[in-house]
Amino acid sequence: MKISPVFELTDEIYDAFLRLIPQLTSLEPPKRDELKDLISAEASTLLIARQSDEKIVALVTLICYRVPTGIHALIEDLIVDESARGQGLGEMLTHEALRLAKEFGANGVMLTSNPKRVAANKLYKKIGFKHWETNLYFYEF
């Protein structure tokens, strides 16, 4: 398995998003321009995982940004293709995101996960994420 950051949008990466995003959410996959913006954003690092045949089978986004109290890091949209689950890809991608966040100077990493994603929640606890009791607010436009 090979994990690498994405520095430019290719047809292969775009096609992988079209295939993987529906496995995570009912929201529409990003358009090409939106994905280009994600890849070029200073605060975002997109990581992909490839199988030995070079097929992209997983991805995750790490966001690191400065606030007055330090550098915050957030993991978003960890997706492992249904055909590749159970091989440790989610764990490998998460560990790489944690390594990068520490390298960027964050003192920890936040993430949210839908309670219905049982395997994902189990993975995060296994890795060492602590469940926080907090109020999460969302203002919808």
- Taking only the tens place, the pLDDT of each residue in 105-136 is 999 999 999 899 999 999 999 999 999 988 98
Q: How far is CA 20 from the centre of its chain?
A: 12
Domain architecture of the chain: domains with CATH: 2-127 (3.40.630.30)
Q: Is the Cβ–Cβ distance between 50 and 57 less than 8 Å?
A: yes
Q: Is the Cβ–Cβ distance between 58 and 49 less than 8 Å?
A: yes
pTM, rounded to two decimals: 0.93
Which are the contacts of 96, defined by CB distance < 8 A and separation ≥ 6? 3, 47
- Taking only the tens place, the pLDDT of each residue in 73-112 is 999 999 999 999 999 999 999 999 999 999 999 999 999 9
CA atoms within 13 A on the CB side of 131: 10
